[in-house]
Amino acid sequence: MADKPIRADKATAVAELTESFRNAGAAVLTEYRGLTVSQLTQLRRSLGKETTYTVAKNTLAKRAASDAGISGLDELFTGPTALTFVSGDVVEAAKGLRDFAKANPKLVIKGGVFEGKAISAAEVTKLADLESREVLLAKLAGAMKGNLSKAAALFQAPLAKTARLAAALQDKREKEGAEAA
């Protein structure tokens, strides 16, 4: 993009958007055409405190993405565009957007950025289908606990087997001693 001089207020907006792109774990681009102000307010609330939903001019957002070192989004900057910057759990934010879009079909997920790489709308939906970080950590902890229990049983097995063998030998000797007497 040719760097044309821009006005101070636009330069400030670009700098803020660039900082948001750099600091966010992910960013999702949506089209909000036809949504009311109250619906947009409801969407912002549903996304949580660690996610911001910002309406931006395409030319400024495109320049900010470029300044942040993000490529592959230029074709998404068409029509009314809003940016969702996610600082917290990306999966939860993606779920919030997906669920809101199901309830309000006028919200269209265009695509986004995850870990510095451009992703499609379908990939945003795949993120939304993942389980949350807490659920995945709980499953991992459960699997580790199960494996530790198996290991403990495995280590105890030789001792129990030895004890049963000693008891069997003692019973055999007692029987032999009783038969000999």
Same domain flag for 67 and 150: no
Confidence at residue 133, expressed as pLDDT on a 0 to 100 scale: 67
Number of separate domains in the chain: 2
14 lies in some domain: yes
C-alpha closest to that of 83 among 110, 102, 105, 103: 110
Does the reported pTM lie above 0.85?
no
Same domain? 78 vs 146: no
pLDDT in tens, the chain (181 residues): 455 666 888 888 888 988 888 888 889 999 988 888 999 989 988 888 888 898 889 989 999 988 888 888 888 888 889 999 998 888 888 888 988 989 988 989 998 888 878 888 888 888 877 766 677 678 778 777 777 777 677 677 777 777 787 888 888 888 887 776 6
Residue 3's nearest CA partner among 86, 63, 54 is 63
Q: Is 1 inside any structural domain?
A: no
Residue 38 lies inside a defined structural domain of this protein: yes
From 142, 111, 143, select the one nearest 124 (Cα to Cα): 111
CA angle, residues 34, 35, 41, in degrees to nearest 5: 165
Assign residue 62 the CATH number of its domain.
3.30.70.1730
Same domain, 108 and 28: yes
